[in-house]
Amino acid sequence: MMSAMPTPTWRIEPVGPLRGDVRISGSKNVVTKLMVASLLSGEPSRVGNAPHIGDVHITASMMRSIGADVEVDEDSEVVSIDPARLSDAHVPYSGLNRIPVLMAGPLLHRFGEAFVPNVGGDAIGSRPVDYHLEALRRLGAEVSITDEGLVAKASHLHGAHFRLPFPSVGATETVLLTAATAEGRTTLENAAMEPEVVELALFLQRMGARIELQPDRCFIIEGVPELSGASQRIGGDRIEALSYLVAGLATGGRVRIVGCAQDRLVTAISTLKRLGAEFAIDDDGIAAEVGPAGLRPAAVHTDTHPGFMTDWQPALVILCTQAAGMSVIHETVFEDRFGYVQALRAMGAEVELFDQCLVGAPCRFDETGFLHSALVRGVSKLYGAEIEMPDIRAAFAYVIAAATADGPSTLHGVHHLERGYDHAHEKFESLGLQISPTG
């Protein structure tokens, strides 16, 4: 078993077009959710194709602190969880990711009470727990918020029928994790349907949960008294996949990704084609390179699945700086996702932010004052710079920008990147990028 040791700083020497194959790791947004789901049973569970990322180790540490046995075998890419000796419903302070709030449902099932610390994670906009709280209350829990975190008690969890105001991934996961062992039927309308959410539902089904996926974003869960352990190999990380494809396109190269199914990238592929990318797709992998006409501008708005996902957005902005003309990106999921743009401007990117909804239908941030639309002018010549990485997805976007730039860049805060991307240093170097870790 190995621990994640973040490297604080990278010095990047651009070398021109990035070329080669990249094996995509298991999904970051799935592995930790299945680890949490394993707490619903007293029997061991296993998660295969687990990525080597910081979030796995953070979650494993939290689970060990409440009595679960967790082994992270990076050689076999398996996380093994034995929750038989789970002994504490009080999760210690984390502040490093958003996983603790998802542990409330399983702990209520095991102990009738739970304390989970306030959410952490990336500073990309408010990610309130209001939907989580309402879901837990609807399912029979008494819930309160303190300065330290969420306190919940429930002598009896029961089914409920309700509709989410917004198809929140996290709130949908809370409902699945809590309703699986609640008495009676739960009907959740306007649920998130991202592939990562469906993978969690499939894992719960393997554990013995009775879950139906119905049309129009609806889950129906018939609660069962107990669940068993399960094993599941998770799918490839579609965010990592898109990110490396864009790295090749932005530098004028050709990257081929393997290990991420095409059906997880349908919207990504169609969007990149609109920008001038050409694809070679077969059962073994997906390759992308810029077509003979070059990159062209596009208007894109982020959305819940099956729309263009918000976590793809920072990489797309880098690509748009290399497309001839004006591109528009409208962020509809997080109100403060463009915080990374200031550093890009220092590198020479021409990006202006607006509080209006510049493309697509007006979103919930319309007329709120949040700068949630970007106008990107290309082609912009980027220059090397010294940059602090603010969050996971912006961190990868900065590496793409540094690979595209004229001159070396120094990127601080690489622990953000390593929290969400498996062996990014080795994968980038396999494509030809020169990276010198320091610090």
pTM: 0.93
Domain termination site, one of 199, 215, 233: 233
Q: Do 192 and 337 share a domain, yes or no?
A: no
178 in the same domain as 102? yes
Domain that holds residue 362: 9-25+236-438
In the sheet where 149-153 sits, what is the strand order?
A: 113-117, 149-153, 142-145
Same domain for 178 and 307?
no
Which of 179, 206, 233 marks a domain boundary? 233
Boundary-marking domain end, from 233, 254, 284: 233
pLDDT of residue 95: 54
Same domain, 390 and 244: yes
Tally of domains in the chain:
2
In-domain check, residue 4: no
94: pLDDT confidence band, cut at 50, 70 and 90? low
Same domain, 157 and 219: yes
pLDDT band at 387 (very low <50, low <70, confident <90, very high): very high
Active-site residue set: 122
CATH number of residue 204's parent domain: 3.65.10.10
φ and ψ of 113, to 5 deg: -155, 165
Q: Provide the 8-state DSSP code for 404.
A: H
Mean predicted confidence (pLDDT) in 63-91: 96
User: Per the domain annotation, does 300 fall within a domain?
Assistant: yes
- Assess if residue 1 is contained within a domain: no
pLDDT of residue 57: 93
Cβ atoms of 430 and 62 within 8 Å: the answer is no
404 CB-side CA count, 13 A: 29
Q: How far apart are the first and last CA of the chain?
A: 24
Same structural domain, 16 and 83:
no
Nearest-angstrom CA–CA distance, 305 and 4: 31
pLDDT tens figures, 219-240? 999 999 999 999 999 999 999 9
* 2 located within any domain: no
pLDDT digits (tens, 9 = 90+) for 165-174: 999 999 999 9
Residue 89 lies in a domain: yes
Residue 57 included in any domain: yes
Report which DSSP code applies to 44.
-
Lowest mean pLDDT among 89-98, 131-140, 249-258, 376-385: 89-98
Pair (310, 227) in one structural domain: no
Mean pLDDT (whole number) for 268-287? 98
Q: Which amino acid would we find at residue 312?
A: W
Per-residue pLDDT for 124 more than 50?
A: no
**pLDDT value of position 313:** 97
Verify that 287 and 403 share a domain, yes or no: yes
Residue 4: is its pLDDT beyond 50?
A: no
342, part of any domain: yes
Q: How far is it, in rounded angstroms, from Cα 352 to Cα 313? A: 15
pLDDT of residue 120: 55
Q: Are residues 155 and 243 both part of a single domain?
A: no
Mean pLDDT of 336-350: 94
Q: How many CB atoms lie within 10 A of CB 215?
A: 5
The span from the CA of 140 to the CA of 133, in Å, is 11
Evaluate whether residue 3 is within a structural domain: no
38/68 same-domain check: yes
